Amino acid sequence: MKEAIRQQARTLGFDDCRFTDAASPETVGHFREWLQRHYDGEMAWLARGAAKRADLQRILPGVHSVITLAASYPHNPSESEPAGAAIVARYACGTDYHEVLGERLKRLQAFVAQLGGSDPRSLWYVDTGPILERDLAQRSGLGFIGKHTNLISRRLGNRFLIAEILTTLELEPDPPERNHCGNCARCLQACPTGAITAPFQLDARRCISYLTIELKGPIPVEWRPALGARVFGCDDCLAACPWNRFAQVGRLMAAHARPELASARLVDWLALDEAGFQRLFRGTPLVRAKRRGLLRNVCVALGNVGDAKALPVLERACHDPESLIASHAVWAVEQIQMRLAATPRPGPGPS
């Protein structure tokens, strides 16, 4: 039965498929301590779902097994973007993975139910439910949790999305994966804000992915310069991982890539009204930030890397009806003006 499920998962486009039991994750205590330190910032849903994360029976009574799945996404090996371009985390440069993987998970769930014969119950998740996904993935052998707290596969690197199916079927667990980070600390050194405060410890409040996506209010001034031109997420800790030499691009997510999202000009995005925002980003992960959040981030990025050519569009944004955008545009104008004032002007020519 396991091999049949695994083969069907590959047929649907997943790059790996593993199995584990539904026992309480061993890292529940670590998760609770993380919450007590308030490292979750404004992500209140993490604490609200803490009890379910500790006990899968609260989610699906009678659950016996968890099927874990991986889907690699396209990435830029050079990690370089054109000057003046908006930097978007690579997983977001395509159709929303919730939709792409969700449609396949429904089909795999139906296949599992058909195999079970006795109408087994199941639930699928793709970053959408109160479960400790990475912990289950490590226990199933899908990968190991690295020092940057992301999942790493020795076969896929760390450029992949994960999903799960909880089922009442009894399936033999695969062996767990052990950590293979060794003495490497490149991800800690690569983090622009020092959000990885120690190996395997992330203060989300300082993480650029949190600041540009989950934080709904103003970005703290002290962290704005560290964003550079990043406007949605950050790949720095992932890019630093040496296991990426084995990274592969799966055919499933490659077919849904949107390359234009990885090379757009900051000034073009700042000029978007609500209709333009929806037209450009509908069906992509970037819509999660909403116009107010994404353009807030664009203002910060222009404040960091923009020049005099960015001033006209920023000055218009200073009067945006959305106060969050306007206040960050004012900051950006000030940053550019200070840089211009500090730039030495050419002296007089020869007499």
| Distance (Å, whole) CA 325 – CA 272 | 12
From the number of C-beta atoms within 10 Å of its C-beta (0-12, 13-18, 19+), residue 228 rates as middle
Nearest Cα residue to 300 out of 223, 233, 234, 236: 223
Average pLDDT of the residues in 71-79: 75
pLDDT of residue 283: 96
Tokens of 267: 């000034």
Tokens of 6: 């695994």
pLDDT band at 115 (very low <50, low <70, confident <90, very high): confident
Residue 23 host element (H or E): none
pLDDT of residue 249: 78
Q: How far from the centroid of its chain's Cα atoms is residue 150's Cα?
A: 10
| String of DSSP letters for 235-270 | -HHHHT-GGGGG----HHHHTTB-GGGGS-BHHHHH
pLDDT band at 77 (very low <50, low <70, confident <90, very high): low
Nearest Cα residue to 313 out of 261, 281, 277, 266: 266
DSSP for residue 287: G
Q: Residue 124 above 90 pLDDT?
A: yes
Average pLDDT of the residues in 264-272: 96
Average pLDDT of the residues in 303-308: 96
| Distance (Å, whole) CA 227 – CA 246 | 28
Question: 211 vs 262, which has greater pLDDT?
Answer: 211
Average pLDDT of the residues in 139-143: 97
pLDDT of residue 347: 59
pLDDT of residue 346: 65
Contact predicate 198/34, CB 8 Å:
no
Q: Sign of torsion, CA 51 52 57 61?
A: positive
pLDDT 10s digits, 142-153? 999 999 999 999
pLDDT of residue 348: 61
Tokens of 42: 């404004």
Q: Residue 76 above 90 pLDDT?
A: no
What is the Cβ-side half-sphere exposure of residue 126, based on CA atoms within 13 angstroms? Answer: 19
What is the Cβ-side half-sphere exposure of residue 29, based on CA atoms within 13 angstroms? Answer: 1
Nearest Cα residue to 224 out of 317, 318, 308, 327: 327
How many other CB atoms are found less than 10 A from the CB of residue 212?
25
Q: Residue 351 above 90 pLDDT?
A: no
The catalytic residues are 127
Tokens of 40: 């979750």
- Report for 27-41, 42-56, 217-231: range of highest mean pLDDT: 217-231
pLDDT of residue 262: 83
Q: Which residue has the tokens 């006990």?
A: 55
| String of DSSP letters for 205-237 | GG-HHIIIII--SPPPGGGGGGGTTEEE---HH
pLDDT band at 24 (very low <50, low <70, confident <90, very high): confident
Average pLDDT of the residues in 189-200: 97
Q: H helices within the chain, ranges in order? A: 2-11, 28-36, 45-48, 50-54, 97-116, 133-140, 186-190, 208-209, 236-239, 251-254, 266-270, 274-281, 290-305, 311-317, 323-342
Strands 87-88 and 122-125: unpaired
pLDDT band at 274 (very low <50, low <70, confident <90, very high): very high
| Distance (Å, whole) CA 79 – CA 10 | 28
Phi, psi of 280, rounded to the nearest 5 degrees: -80, -35
pLDDT 10s digits, 334-347? 999 999 998 777 65
Contact predicate 239/72, CB 8 Å:
no
Mean pLDDT of the chain: 93
